[in-house]
Structure 1
Amino acid sequence: MASYNRVILVGNLTRDIELRYIPSGQAVSDVTVAVNDRRKTASGEWVDEATFVDVTLWGRNAEVASEYLSKGSPVLIEGRLKLDRWETDGQKRSKLRVICEKMQMLGGRSGGGSEHHSSQRGGSGQTAENHGGYNSQGADDYSADSGARDAQPTGRGTGYDDPDIPF
């Protein structure tokens, strides 16, 4: 039987990141991401509910996050679930956490503490992965507002019936 263990979260950090290094020299950081959900109850009123998810960042993910993110920063996390088990005072305990494999910073310079942001093809933000390190096009590509894009046509203006347009 096949197994699939994949988690994608978009939320905000609940505290500043504390970076530490294990004896082998690899960086690690434990963070909590608040994921908000808004839904309507049976009576028709809106209810906001926050879910707090523990996430472990390793390697370059942890280093990049500690350098550019702070409390309240929006972030996208992709990873896998891991069940931690331990025993305290004779009682067995367990906790689910997400092991981050890919991290992308969301928002801009004013968006929750990010000081710099990198533009990348296919999306805005900086991506760091455990496989291959920090994916940036270079320090010269930093911009204050990488989320800003040129206006895209909506299909309702004049000239959209022109047969020479390739779409």
Structure 2
Amino acid sequence: MASLNKVMLIGRLGKDPEIVSFENGNKKMSVTLATSESYRDRNGEWVEQTDWHNLVNWGNIALDIAEKRRNYIKGDMMYVEGRIKTRQYVDAQNVTRYITEIVVDKMMSMGTNRPQVNPNQQNTSYNAYQQPTVSSQQPTANYQQPPLPEMPNPDYDGDDLPF
């Protein structure tokens, strides 16, 4: 029977991506991603639980991020696709340690709290299989765009991140 190992996450970067270069020319990207969920406890109080995920990649995605890593910084909202990988090693005290990581196949920015320098700049996606871009067209003269629905304005301060 076949199996499936697929992860899709949306969360905020916990730190700027770190790029490590090896002597053979390979690069490794590593970064943490925070995902949160809120629920009400027995007393009716809202509780937020944050999970931290270790993201890694070697090869093309790491190379792309190494060249453009200033685009991704701590606090940025990201969409990530990948697979779960657990590895082990023996530390200096001869204890076997296990590390569970998300091996990134696709990583895409979903927004940032930083002011955008160029308003025409699009989100950057790193994916071995790039989607074709769709050109935007101006609406015709007699077309009116319907009004956008009112969105609640949460008491969210961009500096008030859990990391």
Query: CA deviation digits over 1:117-150, x for unaligned, max 9?
Result: 754xxxxx32211x25x7685xxx9xxxxxxxx9
1:86 is aligned to 89
- When residues 57 and 115 of structure 1 are mapped into structure 2, their CA distance, relative to the original with a 3 A threshold, is farther
Counterpart AA for 1:86? Y
TM-score by length of 2: 0.69
Does the Cα contact within 8 Å between 1:31 and 1:54 map onto a contact in 2? yes
1:25 is aligned to 25
Deviation at 1:66, TM superposition (A): 1.4
3-state SS of 1:43 partner: coil
1:101 and 2:99 matched: no
- When residues 135 and 126 of structure 1 are mapped into structure 2, their CA distance, relative to the original with a 3 A threshold, is farther
Deviation at 1:87, TM superposition (A): 1.1
Deviation at 1:37, TM superposition (A): 1.1
TM-score by length of 1: 0.67
Rounded to whole Å, the distance in 2 between the matches of 1:13 and 1:43 is 31
List alignment gaps of at least 5 residues for structure 1.
120-124, 142-149, 155-167
Q: Within 5 Å, which residues of 2 pair with 1:37-116?
A: 37-62=37-62, 63-64=64-65, 66-88=69-91, 89-107=93-111, 111-112=113-114
Deviation at 1:79, TM superposition (A): 0.1
1:13 and 2:13 matched: yes
Percent identity over the alignment is: 24
2:141 is aligned to none
Rounded to whole Å, the distance in 2 between the matches of 1:80 and 1:16 is 21
Does the Cα contact within 8 Å between 1:69 and 1:114 map onto a contact in 2? no
Rounded to whole Å, the distance in 2 between the matches of 1:112 and 1:46 is 28
1:128 is aligned to 126
Query: CA deviation digits over 1:56-105, x for unaligned, max 9?
Result: 03334233361311111111110000001111122111011000000110
Rounded to whole Å, the distance in 2 between the matches of 1:66 and 1:97 is 20
Rounded to whole Å, the distance in 2 between the matches of 1:96 and 1:66 is 24
Rounded to whole Å, the distance in 2 between the matches of 1:91 and 1:76 is 35
Query: CA deviation digits over 1:24-54, x for unaligned, max 9?
Result: 3233211000111111112211101111100
Rounded to whole Å, the distance in 2 between the matches of 1:113 and 1:49 is 28
Deviation at 1:152, TM superposition (A): 4.8
